[in-house]
A and B are shown apart, each in its own frame.
Chain A
Amino acid sequence: MADVVMRIWRGDSEGGEFQDFPTQVSEGEVVLDVVHRIQAEDAPDLACRWNCKAGKCGSCSAEINGLPHLMCMTRMDTLPTEEPVVIAPMKTFPIIRDLVTDVSFNYEMARRLPPFAPKDPGPDGTYRMQQIDVERGQEFRKCIECFMCQDICHVIRDHEENKEHYAGPRLFIRYMELESHPLDTNDRRELLREEMGLGYCNITKCCTEVCPEHIKITDNAIIPLKERVVDASYDPVAWLGRKILRRTKKTATEAANHRTDPKPVKASQ
């Protein structure tokens, strides 16, 4: 049993402050255990999201000592206990209450993503994919949608105004999965460049650093997408090659033709 002070953010959209909870930690406990005990013993109205307690549902994301972590996967014995353990809600999203934030930005960006558009099936009416073609996208499917990569990304963390035109790392891995899918026919490159803000990412890799599923977001999704956007928009040789070989699937402008998004609205406060 070790003594520790948990310094937890309490508040809502009206404002808030840190509140200290001195408590005892037993061996093997994770941050979420301690938060639950505080809930049970000291602050029954303390709000936090959780579900699986196994690092698989992605709901318990919070900022522990300044960096996003899953509360259920962060063992107390990995944290320094001489000073209070500081737990704050994810900074990039609007607060609902205490440690719970409104992550709907991510769902809206997911809705803006042009979905999988398979080509025609083979003559026997079925689709077939080879194992090596399946493997590449597999990594991206490990995502548990904890949104910690979106939270840590400075493009929107420090610049709210960029949210309007920035899909963010969680969505970039989805874009890469579909863009490199052998059966997909949509070309999302121009959309990525013009409206999803791929160029805003400066590959400083914080998303990769915080991903609990260890997805190589930057190396395997964002940089390959940037290279694909170069193929489509910045590389005259690639452009010429396409013209000569007639490899264009369809015009990229067509794919980006979706300017029906309503104007963003300001939250009411």
Chain B
Amino acid sequence: MLKLNNISKRFGGLPALSEVTFYVTKGKITALIGPNGAGKSTLINCISGIIPADQGSILFEEKEISGLQAHEIARRGVARTFQNLRVLPRLSVLENVLCGLTVKSDHSFLKAMLRLPALRHQERFLRLKAMESLDLFGLTKKADWPMAALPYGDKKKVEMARAFVANPGIVLLDEPVAGLNSEETARIGVLVKQMRTAGHTMLLVEHDMELVMDISDHVVVLDSGRCIAQGTPEEIRHNPLVLEAYLGKIGAAA
């Protein structure tokens, strides 16, 4: 499904990612964990084309996607959410989700102009899909709200609704529960599981170990830009390297 091979990225002289290699399996939730600054968000940015990787290859559905621009990668079926939100503040909630369907839309502006009646039909269909997605995330009542009026937790849900709406091949979730309270966290956990049941493939970056152990099928651990371990949640829980990486950081912080 998604194969990362030897991905490296430096900022200035400092390595943020060093030769990261792992695979994401279709229909599974792969968790990417690691202490703060480990390079998790950087890796997500490289996959989605927000920043180019310095070297390595990224195969998505057997095709090379590294080097493509973000919008091209999105059109191949890679959707994502951001750790610190990239919503479209002046648009309504529904319009934000509609934007997620851009990847499915006909990209020729001229054609779009010429086929107005057909477009009308298509527009109604798109709205229906967007509303379905909002419904899934419990936001039906707020569909016409301006984005700026939503509380933080709902904004995160809108981003997820936008990422899932077009039925992408994979969704990259960068810390979907960061900044949420435990109740909201549990709710998102349920939603993510629901999404897997519906057949979605996900790469989930998360800090909340409990959540990760609960919902993921495969766990990859990143520390200082290196992939230090991977395996089932059970294996990771008992891996001494992982314990050291985590306890070491906590020890240093204390």
- A and B bound? no
B interface, CB within 8 angstroms of A: none
* Chain A residues within CB distance 8 Å of chain B: none
